[in-house]
Structure 1
Amino acid sequence: MTNYILIVAAIILLCLFLNKISAKLGIPVLLAFILLGMLFGTDGLLKISFDNYQIAEQICTVSLIFIMFYGGFGTNWKQARPVAGKAVLLSTLGVLLTAAATGIFCWVVLRFDFWESMLIGAVLSSTDAASVFSILRSKRLNLKDNTASMLEMESGSNDPCSYMLAVIILAVMKGGFTGESLVKLVLLQVIFGVLIGVLTAVFGAWVLSRMKNAGDGVDTIFVFSMALLSYAGAAILGGNGYLAAYLAGLIMGNRPLHNKKSLVHFFDGLTGLMQMLIFFLLGLLAFPSALPGIIPVAFAIALFLTFVARPLSVFAILTPFRCSARQQLLVSWSGLRGAASIVFAILATVDPVYTKNDLFHIVIFIVLFSISIQGSLLGFMARRLDMIDDNSNVMKTFSDYSEEVPVEFVKIVIKKDHPWAGHRIKDVTSLPDLLLVLILRGEERIVPNGDTVIMEGDKIVLSALSPEENLGLYLSEIEIDRESPWIGLPLSRVKLPEDSLVLVLMREDRVKIPNGNTVIRENDILVISQV
Structure 2
Amino acid sequence: MTAEWGVLAVAALVFVYALFGKRLSDSILTGPMLFLFAGWGFHSLGLIELGHGARGLYILAEISLVVLLFADAAAIDPSRLWRGASIPARMLIFGLPLAILFGFLAGAGLLPNWPLWELALVAAILAPTDAALSQPIITDPRIPERIGRSLSAESGLNDGFALPFVLFFGCFAVGGVHNEVQVPWWVFVGQQVGLGALIGGVIGYAGGWLLRLAQDRGLTSDRFGGIAVLALAGIAYLAAQGGHGNGFLAAFVAGLAFGEVLRGRSRFVFEFIETEGQILTVLSFFVIGAVLLPEGLPHVTWPMVALVLASLFILRPITIWLSLAGAGIGTKEKLFYGWFGPRGLATALFALLVLDAFDLLTMRDEILAMAAIAVLLSAVLHGLTAAPAAKLFDKDAGRDGTASDGTLTDT
TM range (shorter): 0.7 to 0.9
**Is the 1:79–1:149 contact (alpha carbons within 8 Å) kept by the matching residues of 2?**
no
Q: 1:207 aligns with which of 182, 206, 210?
A: 210
Q: What SS does structure 1 have at the residue aligned with 2:50?
A: coil
Match of 1:310 in 2: 316
Match of 2:60 in 1: 59
Answer 1 or 2: which has greater strand percent: 1
Q: CA deviation at 1:61?
A: 1.9
Q: CA deviation at 1:251?
A: 4.8
Deviations 1:75-102 (A, max 9, x none): 3556534368653453354333222322
Match of 2:106 in 1: 105
What does residue range 34-49 of structure 1 map to in structure 2 within 5 Å?
Answer: 34-41=36-43, 43=44, 45-49=45-49
Q: CA deviation at 1:34?
A: 0.9
Match of 2:15 in 1: 13
Q: 2:254 aligns with which of 248, 259, 270?
A: 248
Q: CA deviation at 1:118?
A: 2.5
State the structure with more CA Rg: 1
**Is the 2:175–2:184 contact (alpha carbons within 8 Å) kept by the matching residues of 1?**
no
Match of 1:361 in 2: 369
Q: CA deviation at 1:342?
A: 0.6
Deviations 1:508-528 (A, max 9, x none): xxxxxxxxxxxxxxxxxxxxx
Deviations 1:107-137 (A, max 9, x none): 31244413343332121111123333x3355
More displaced 10-residue stretch of structure 1: 95-104 or 5-14: 5-14
Match of 1:512 in 2: none
Q: What SS does structure 1 have at the residue aligned with 2:83?
A: helix
What does residue range 73-472 of structure 1 map to in structure 2 within 5 Å?
Answer: 73-77=74-78, 79-82=80-83, 87-115=88-116, 116-132=118-134, 134-136=135-137, 138-140=139-141, 142-143=143-144, 146-176=146-176, 191-212=194-215, 213-214=218-219, 217-253=223-259, 255=262, 260-286=266-292, 291=297, 294=300, 296-350=302-356, 351-355=359-363, 358-378=366-386, 380-384=388-392, 389=397
Deviations 1:341-371 (A, max 9, x none): 1111122344232217533233222112212
Q: What SS does structure 2 have at the residue aligned with 1:358?
A: helix
Change (3 A) 1:290 1:211: closer
**Is the 1:61–1:343 contact (alpha carbons within 8 Å) kept by the matching residues of 2?**
yes
More displaced 10-residue stretch of structure 1: 183-192 or 227-236: 183-192
Aligned length: 393
Q: What TM-score comes out, normalization by structure 2 length?
A: 0.79
Deviations 1:237-290 (A, max 9, x none): 4545434433433454463566x4444223322221111221111211256597
**Is the 1:326–1:387 contact (alpha carbons within 8 Å) kept by the matching residues of 2?**
no
- Unmatched runs of 5 consecutive residues or more in structure 2: none
Q: What TM-score comes out, normalization by structure 1 length?
A: 0.63
**Is the 2:237–2:248 contact (alpha carbons within 8 Å) kept by the matching residues of 1?**
yes
Q: CA deviation at 1:311?
A: 2.0
More displaced 10-residue stretch of structure 1: 306-315 or 87-96: 87-96
Matched letter for residue 242 of structure 1: F
Q: What SS does structure 1 have at the residue aligned with 2:325?
A: helix
Q: CA deviation at 1:340?
A: 0.9
Quick one: distance in 1 between partners of 2:405 and 2:329? 20
Q: What SS does structure 1 have at the residue aligned with 2:324?
A: helix
Quick one: distance in 2 between partners of 1:210 and 1:125? 39
- Unmatched runs of 5 consecutive residues or more in structure 1: 399-480, 483-531
Quick one: distance in 1 between partners of 2:171 and 2:263? 42
**Is the 2:196–2:249 contact (alpha carbons within 8 Å) kept by the matching residues of 1?**
yes
Matched letter for residue 31 of structure 1: M
Quick one: distance in 1 between partners of 2:342 and 2:318? 15
Matched letter for residue 129 of structure 2: T
**Is the 2:130–2:342 contact (alpha carbons within 8 Å) kept by the matching residues of 1?**
yes
**Is the 1:84–1:150 contact (alpha carbons within 8 Å) kept by the matching residues of 2?**
no
**Is the 1:70–1:268 contact (alpha carbons within 8 Å) kept by the matching residues of 2?**
no
Change (3 A) 1:83 1:69: farther
Change (3 A) 1:250 1:18: farther
Q: CA deviation at 1:189?
A: 5.0
**Is the 1:71–1:129 contact (alpha carbons within 8 Å) kept by the matching residues of 2?**
no
Quick one: distance in 1 between partners of 2:93 and 2:189? 13
Deviations 1:161-196 (A, max 9, x none): 433333333333324168x96665555555445444
Matched letter for residue 371 of structure 2: V
Match of 1:435 in 2: none
Q: 1:28 aligns with which of 21, 27, 30?
A: 30
Deviations 1:485-507 (A, max 9, x none): xxxxxxxxxxxxxxxxxxxxxxx
Q: CA deviation at 1:323?
A: 4.4
